[in-house]
Structure 1
Amino acid sequence: MSENEKKEEVKQEEQEIVDETTEEVNAESESVDENNELEVQIEELKNEKEELTNRMLRLQAEFDNYKRRTLKEREADRKYKAQDMVQELLPVMDNFERALQVEVSEENKSILEGIDMVYRQLQDVFASQDVSIIETEGADFDPNLHHAVMQIEDDSIEANKVVEELQKGYLLKDRVIRPAMVKVNK
């Protein structure tokens, strides 16, 4: 072989080595690019997973709160289911009490006995529904239970005490259905 041919062959070999090296470098570069892309995708997926997890936890907490709230509302509805009926019957109770304050005579004795029986039955119904009368006379004035419509000044009675009950007040379990109308000492 001539020297030119040898040189040509060496050049070809060198070119092949350069081409192979270039291909390897390009392959490594592509691999690095792919790795970078994969890392970016992994990071995005991690962020998305974290966001979805947080969202799911918030929704679960909201649902738990909703369940607790509706359970409380249902319990309150059951507990105070008689409230509307009791409120409508309170004027009837007041009228029965007024009717029983009439003087008893031979003519109205039997009518008053009938009214008294109905009145006691109504009281029994109220008691069965946990309706109770608010204690007033001699008690300390409580604006949550009493409605002061009059005030008097009497030095023989402590200040802020209920002196007289003008209209009965009623509680259903622990809820005020109607506050008692009272006269209070200053």
Structure 2
Amino acid sequence: MNAQTDQPDIESEDLNSEDPTAEAEGAEGQEKQEAAEAAEIEALQAKADENWDLYLRAAAEAENVRKRAIRDVENARKYALENFGRELLAVVDTLEMGLAAAESADADSLRAGSEATLKLLATTLERFGISVVDPEGEPFDPELHEAMTMQPSDDVEPGSVLTVIQKGYSLNGRLLRPARVIVASEPTDA
């Protein structure tokens, strides 16, 4: 009690009324909560580190795949014609033998050798998907043929290829060179 007012001393009672065990339990609960939060933070940090490591590995793998793809494309460009070149060497060898034989051969044997060489070359080209576009007698197609001139004809339907000046070639269906042709037109009345 307060001697001056005859009132009970409330402040001192409130301070003294707090239970020391409750205070200890509050501190202990706060420590447990802080420990749980610290454990959660540690687990989240470990997960973040693991994810960062996975990201770095994925980025490195992507870079390796990119480098490998670049190397493969460079090698494909560099060696794409290797087999084709190897096959053409047989044609070159045949031509060289034909020239060597030309010194002592007659015209018939030279012609036979040239025909054999041409057949070997055509076979080699076909093996690699290169085919001849020889449209004689077919309707003119500006996608495949290059008209050099038109000539009146009774033998072939107008708009058809009358004569092939130079054969065309395609590679697996894609035109390499159009066939140069003379196209038939209506016959002129004389």
Query: Aligned pair in 2 of structure 1 residues 124, 134: CA closer, same or farther (>3 Å)?
Result: same
Query: Aligned pair in 2 of structure 1 residues 44, 172: CA closer, same or farther (>3 Å)?
Result: closer
Report the TM-score when normalising by structure 2. 0.50
Q: Residue 166 in 1 paired to residue 165 in 2? A: yes
* 1:1-186 mapped onto 2 (5 Å cutoff): 14-15=19-20, 17=21, 20-42=24-46, 44-45=48-49, 47-48=51-52, 51=55, 55=59, 77=81, 80-81=84-85, 112-131=107-126, 133-152=132-151, 157-170=156-169, 178-185=177-184
Give the percent of matched residue pairs that are identical in Structure 1 and Structure 2: 20
| 1:184 maps to amino acid | V
Contact residue 83 and residue 177 of structure 1 kept, 8 A:
no
Greater displacement, 60-69 / 42-51: 60-69
In structure 1, stretches of 5+ residues that fail to align are 1-10, 93-109
Secondary structure of 1:34's counterpart equals helix
Answer 1 or 2: higher relative contact order, Cα 8 Å, separation at least 6: 1
In structure 2, stretches of 5+ residues that fail to align are 1-15, 96-104, 186-190
RMSD: 4.8
Instruction: Report how far residue 136 of structure 1 moved.
Output: 2.2
Instruction: Report how far residue 20 of structure 1 moved.
Output: 2.8
Report the TM-score when normalising by structure 1. 0.51
Contact residue 134 and residue 164 of structure 2 kept, 8 A:
no
Question: 1:100-150 CA deviation, whole Å, 9 max, x = no partner?
Answer: xxxxxxxxxx85324413321321321341455432210233445433222
Instruction: Report how far residue 166 of structure 1 moved.
Output: 1.3
Instruction: Report how far residue 24 of structure 1 moved.
Output: 0.5
| 1:139 maps to amino acid | E
